Amino acid sequence: ENDHIQAAEAVRHRIQSLIDAEDCGNVLSDDGLAKKLSTEGVAVARRTVTKYRKLLRIPSAAHRKRRKKLTRSIAGAKAAHF
């Protein structure tokens, strides 16, 4: 039981790390996150990634992509004014 909790926490932490490392041109979907984790030796279903992402209060890939593009365009506009 305790090992299961620790493993789940480690997977949630890794999901957070992968999302934190995204750039606006490479936003990972839940399926993409599951595949990335699989290449790292962590077998997890897409629906589990979705559940953990929601628990972490992280928006969907579409929302993150829009937010990152908006943030980048705002930063570019501010840089142009200085």
Mean of the per-residue pLDDT values of the chain:
90
Does the pLDDT of residue 41 top 80, yes or no? yes
* Total-model pTM: 0.81
20-36 tens-digit pLDDT: 999 878 999 999 999 99
Q: Which residue has the tokens 């629906």?
A: 47
Report which residue type is found at 3.
Answer: D
CA distance 68 to 29: 14
Instruction: Pick the more confident residue, 72 or 82.
Output: 72
42-72 tens-digit pLDDT: 999 999 999 999 999 999 999 999 887 787 7
